[in-house]
């Protein structure tokens, strides 16, 4: 397993990168966010996007109009009493 750092705007992030079952796996140690890809570059690109989503730097909660365009009734778009799967927490 390789460990490296990359410089961010105000800090360095420790990243672990390894091969597993034919995939490259990349993990941001600080956040615990982990991604994979068919190559090192793809795994790291996926990690950059996933960490940005995790930190709220990109993406947005869908609007009711966007949900309706996807055929989802906004009134039914809740988890109710169910907790999300462990992988989403």
| Tokens describing residue 37 | 């890809």
| Res. 84: pLDDT tops 60 | yes
| Tokens describing residue 38 | 């068919």
pTM over the 0.75 mark: no
Residue scoring higher pLDDT (23 or 85): 23
Quick one: pLDDT at residue 4?
58
Per-residue pLDDT of 1-44, as tens digits, reads 665 555 555 556 799 999 999 999 999 999 999 999 999 999 99
Q: What is the CATH class of 2-78?
A: alpha beta
| Interval 63-79 mean pLDDT | 88
| Interval 67-83 mean pLDDT | 83
């Amino acid at each position: 397993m390789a460990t490296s750092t990359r410089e961010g705007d105000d800090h360095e992030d420790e990243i672990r990168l390894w091969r597993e079952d034919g995939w490259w796996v990349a993990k941001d140690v600080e956040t615990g966010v982990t991604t994979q890809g068919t190559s090192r570059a793809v795994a790291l690109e996926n990690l950059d996007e996933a960490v940005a989503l995790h930190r709220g730097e990109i993406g947005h909660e869908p609007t009711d109009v966007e949900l309706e365009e996807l055929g989802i009734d906004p009134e039914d778009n809740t988890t109710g009493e169910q907790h999300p799967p462990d992988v989403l927490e």
